[in-house]
Amino acid sequence: MDEDLGTRLTLRGSIGSSMKRTIRGSSFIGFMGKPAGTCVSMCVLSVLCIGWALGISAPVFGQQQQAIDSTASPPVLAIAPAGQGHEVEEAVATWSRLSLERSHVLLIVLIFFLLVLLFTHRARKGTGLDVRDIPGIRAMAGAVERAATLGKPIVYVPGVFDIDNIQTIASMAILVEVARETARQGVRLIVPLNRAFLIPLAEESVRRGMSEAGNAGLFDRNDIRYLSDDHFAYAAAVDGIILRERPAACLYMGGFGAESLILAETGYIAGAVQIAGTAETQQLPFLVVACDQALIGEEFYAASAYISREPTLLGTLQAADILKAIVIIILLAGSILELCGCHILSAWFTVQ
């Protein structure tokens, strides 16, 4: 009996410690939103692209090695199994000379890095940043105020994809801002999940947002609910929550499949204000028609920067816009030059 009790206590302690490590690890997204995190990520990206621009030859694995057949005239470079051929040399990864064919990649990365630093600095000073007003993001604040007035909760659905999907990551960043606003207004926030790995991340996101708003006592772990990995079972469970809780607003932020219209129709029947955001082009028509407001494509990715007004996020957002404008100008200039018979840009952007 004592041995069984000791085993259970040990198991419980190991599970608890592993969950704490997982929750602490989920603060990585918060770190990446800070200036230090942005600098680290940009430096890593620059190092990777510089290494790719320099060019490094990969080793040959397995039984294939380079062999030179000296009997042929002229000598022929052949690939033969080890032990065959007259001369066999083992392939070794070595640094090659600077590859000028890839210099445009290095140049683009450096330009983007400098733009991020420039606009982040200007954002911290509060000058030179003009962010376009997005009705869908502005409607989120109105939805929270409506929930506070009616005394009803808000249901936040972070999509149906796992944490390795970029839309889910963007949804978690928006969840922090939504949790902060609901905590200020004293509104209950319900987050149904369909991936077990999202549980500690969603809990940490909601806890962080409410703590920053000074209302950490509003956080309830029971409102972060794992339902099912199956898409339609998850949609049915979320529909049940919506019909039972009768929320004032439903926010659908993330990647969705065929269940998007099922969720949106149920929210409409419940009389909730619905705001959707996704980059799934197949589901956008359904969400635009069924919801009151929709964030389309890049508006969804820019939502966290727009709501939080974090200088680092705003600087990265504006730097990306400037880089897109540069790419469009290069495409137009390259098209005109090609029509005139000049192949300078096309040759420069060709990677061997």
| Residues 89 and 213 grouped into a single domain | no
pLDDT at 272 over 50: yes
Q: How far apart are CA 249 and CA 246, in angstroms?
A: 9
The average pLDDT across 121-135 equals: 74
- What is the domain range of residue 223? 135-301
| Residues 70 and 208 grouped into a single domain | no
* pLDDT range class, residue 226, cuts 50, 70, 90: very high
Higher-pLDDT residue of 57 and 305 is 305
Q: Is the pTM of this model over 0.85?
A: no
pLDDT at 235 over 50: yes
Asked whether residue 273 is domain-assigned, the answer is yes
| Residues 169 and 76 grouped into a single domain | no
| Residues 84 and 202 grouped into a single domain | no
Asked whether residue 52 is domain-assigned, the answer is no
| Residues 167 and 63 grouped into a single domain | no
Asked whether residue 16 is domain-assigned, the answer is no
User: Which CATH number belongs to the domain containing residue 195 in this structure?
Assistant: 3.40.50
Higher-pLDDT residue of 119 and 72 is 119
Percentage of residues in the chain having pLDDT higher than 70: 69
Percentage of residues in the chain having pLDDT higher than 90: 38
Least confident range of 56-70, 178-192, 248-262, 286-300: 56-70
Asked whether residue 43 is domain-assigned, the answer is no
| Residues 296 and 148 grouped into a single domain | yes
Domain count, the chain: 2
Asked whether residue 3 is domain-assigned, the answer is no
